[in-house]
Amino acid sequence: MDIKNAIADFQFIANRVSKFSYEIADIDVKDEKAKVNYNIDYNILSINEDENNFVGKLEYITDIRANVNEETFFIIQLIMEGVFIGNKKKLSETDFKNRMELNGIATLSHLSRSYIIAATSLAGMNPPVKTPMANIHLLMAMKNNKEDNKK
């Protein structure tokens, strides 16, 4: 099947890691289970337009903290940014923003998961850290509720 006729009006064009840090404590964990807390957030950094397209920048924030017996075992922080483009002839600005949130977050979440698995594996963590998949619809609802409560 020729993809030319099925290319979406919303496209992912670039990404970068704007922040990555990790700290691993030198503690003896033996057979202890780590209690891991995952905090995920996102921000739409910008939406601009030119003659033909909307161009938006989104950041996906992952903050992971693990404790063993009340001691900090590791901290991982990652901010992954993505740039997305949308055809103005086919999408309104609201549609573009909605696609950035839904498709953009899904795209950046998977890139972030892969990055964290690779980085923690290379850092010698065995097993490497695997972040859980996020329910994007629920994440968006939580973000909207948080912003509504600020008002």
Q: From 145, 58, 47, 66, select the one nearest 103 (Cα to Cα).
A: 58
Decide: 12 and 99 in contact? Cβ < 8 Å: no
Reported confidence tier of residue 149, pLDDT bands at 50, 70, 90:
confident
State yes or no: cis peptide before 132, omega within 30 of 0. no
pTM of the model: 0.89
Decide: 43 and 61 in contact? Cβ < 8 Å: yes
Q: How many whole angstroms separate alpha carbon 151 and alpha carbon 95? A: 24
Q: What pLDDT score was predicted for residue 125?
A: 87
pLDDT at 146 over 90: no
Domains of the chain, with CATH numbers? 3-134 (3.10.420.10)
Q: Find all residues with CB under 8 Å of 79, minimum gap 6, and list them.
A: 17, 18, 19, 20, 59, 60, 61, 62
Q: What pLDDT score was predicted for residue 138?
A: 94
Reported confidence tier of residue 147, pLDDT bands at 50, 70, 90:
confident
The percentage of the chain sitting over the pLDDT mark of 70, rounded to a whole number, equals 99
Reported confidence tier of residue 38, pLDDT bands at 50, 70, 90:
very high
Decide: 41 and 101 in contact? Cβ < 8 Å: no
